Amino acid sequence: MRNIKKLHKAEYRPMGDLKTWSPLPTRTLQMIDPFIFLNHHGPQVYPPNNNGLPFGPHPHRGMETVTFILDGDIAHKDSDGHYSVIESGGVQWMTAGRGLLHSEISSDEFKEEGGPLEILQLWVNLPKRLKMMQPHYRGLQEDQISIWKNEEETIKAQVVSGNFKGIRGAFDTPTSVNLSLVHFDKDSKIQLEIPKSDNIFFYVIKGELEVNEINVPELHLAEFSKNDEKLNIITKEKSILLLGHAEPFEEKVVFGGPFVMNSEEEIQQAYEDYRSGKMGSWE
């Protein structure tokens, strides 16, 4: 079985009235190549007449954002002309590539009526050869996302990208990143085989999972070695897992706020291009 090297608890980093847990990066773990950032917002309940999500127009370059809406909604708009409102159970995938502006706020309906909210946003790096590719966005509602279920229907995986037990993901992506959101009923189990060459992203959103005889509580990210292919997962309570795996890029990574590049010079160029309007404009 694949060994767990260490468990990393998400750090609490609220953004005003938005509860936020961040399992990556933290003081104990910088990245799991090519997975570079995760914010877990909520769960919480917003009152009527609220301000909603605070993520107004901002730029990105050199990476992808994958947003999972467990509760609530997101109104996405970007400088390439895309607009959508994705509701509970849906997923957004945005490839920033050479750069664009976007906003992620709550719909007018959610701000007026309030309600439960829980959203995760994962940043996935792009390799150097793709960092300046054409930007792309796609948002899918829950009923548009591929589903895998076990025979007992005690485990349901929303297959977002790549492949999960023979089911192809709903999103076609520029790299071979596998991403699934896996929902477990109480007293269920599954065995997965993940190539030893892949890095694994394993974040327990809710509940607790026993993985290769190690308990992983909610709000914890498990860091794995590369000694074996097998993951044996057992659950004693209802749980939700964000599971990813991919071949690492093994390239230098330089962060510059919303930009993820391979050198400091490229970060400075990204800021210059943003200020000069090369990433688009906002009406």
Contacts 24+ apart (CB under 8 A), 257-263: 258/58, 258/59, 258/60, 258/61, 259/59, 259/60, 259/61, 259/62, 259/63, 259/99, 260/36, 260/61, 260/62, 260/63, 260/123, 260/125, 260/126, 261/61, 261/62, 261/131, 262/128, 262/131
Q: Which amino acid is at 38?
A: L
Q: Which amino acid is at 142?
A: E
Binding residues: 58, 60, 102, 104
Distance CA 120, CA 69 (A): 7
- Helices and strands (DSSP H and E) totals, the chain: 2, 26
Please state, as a whole number, how many other Cβ atoms lie within 10 Å of the Cβ of residue 64: 27
Binding residues for Fe cation: 58, 60, 102, 104
E strand map for 79-177:
83-87, 91-95, 100-105, 115-125, 136-140, 146-149, 155-161, 163-164, 167-168
**Per-residue CA distances from 236 to 195, 216, 247 (Å):** 27, 12, 31
Q: Which amino acid is at 60?
A: H
Using the 8-state DSSP alphabet, how is residue 47 labeled? Answer: P
